Structure 1
């Protein structure tokens, strides 16, 4: 029993988040669903805890909220751009790979940046170099070569800079 309840002590927010996710997926707040959600959250958290590198330190949680807001807004804007690209028959996408040099070193922050880029329609994190210093991006519609550097600068300014402040 102690082993099953260990995630409540070690990662209570993960248990709460997974339980809430379960309830959202179910679409109703019934006592049985709440109990099942808590049990699933405890089991999942217990199962993945050996793969965790320890506690994640968040230095500035308010900046994390700003980061998430930026991601949501940028995903909405990217959806509109992709829709315009698809609905304009004379416009043909120019796919390309672009290398993004990284200043991030914290593994979770790197994961978060790569996932954020992949969540945004029209871009995808394709590879991370062995030394974790360069992220290879695939862009559905490459801007001009000079604009590709501006796109990388935008990613670094909007996302990486905040993640560097949030995760020490």
Structure 2
């Protein structure tokens, strides 16, 4: 938490020292502050701030890539495949051991990528019910979600 506060303070100082404060100066200040914290991370109390911020940007990049690829795949399915050749499926996905915030992020990331949707979160917060527009192997789809999305979320939340 100390590193985050220092990052915000450096960003605000950078923002107010400029001739014309605007949003881009604040963003540059955040980047400069992050760079300073990264360089002097040995002088700060042990924490995972720099790792978590980097992991968040990796998640954002991977999520955007998955969003574009799934949009293209869904467009290809809609334009070229007859409806009777599709294999829609509703299957369960275990989220045991995840916090409610991680479940929320995961369920929204799944729903935002076209072709899949989170239908329900069980009352005990251990299982998601997912729908896929075309999957021959629900276990492979669940494995891909776990490998691509869930691991990236856990990298910046823990």
- If the TM-score is normalised by the length of the shorter chain, which range does it land in? 0.5 to 0.7
How many residues matched? 113
TM-score of the pair, normalised by structure 1: 0.59
Structural mapping, 1:36-75, within 5 Å: 60-75=52-67
Query: Structure 2 vs 1, CA of residues 113 and 89 (structure 1 numbering), >3 Å: closer, same or farther?
Result: closer
**Structure 1: where are the runs of 5+ without partners?**
1-8, 13-33, 35-56
State the TM-score, normalizing by the size of structure 2: 0.63
**Is residue 160 of structure 1 aligned with residue 158 of structure 2?**
no
Matched, 1:87 2:79: yes
Q: How does 1:142-153 map to 2 (within 5 A)?
A: 143-144=135-136, 147-153=137-143
8 Å CA contact 1:104, 1:160 repeated in 2: no
Check the 8 A contact 2:95/2:126 in 1, yes or no: yes
Cα distance in 1, alignment partners of residues 127 and 90 from structure 2:
12
User: Which residue is equivalent to 2:115?
Assistant: 122
Give the drift of 1:152. Answer: 0.3
Secondary structure of 2:93's aligned partner: strand
> Which of 128, 131, 135 is the matching residue for 1:135?
128
The answer as to whether partners of 1:125 and 1:137 remain within 8 angstroms in 2 is: yes
| 4+ residue runs over 3 A deviation | 89-92
SS of residue paired to 1:98: strand
Asked if residue 113 in structure 1 is aligned to residue 106 in structure 2, the reply is yes
Is the CA contact 2:96–2:125 (under 8 Å) kept in the aligned structure 1?
no
Q: Does 1:102 align with 2:92?
A: no
Q: Distance in 1 between matches of 2:116 and 2:82?
A: 21
Q: Distance in 2 between matches of 1:156 and 1:166?
A: 15
Alignment root-mean-square deviation, CA: 2.4
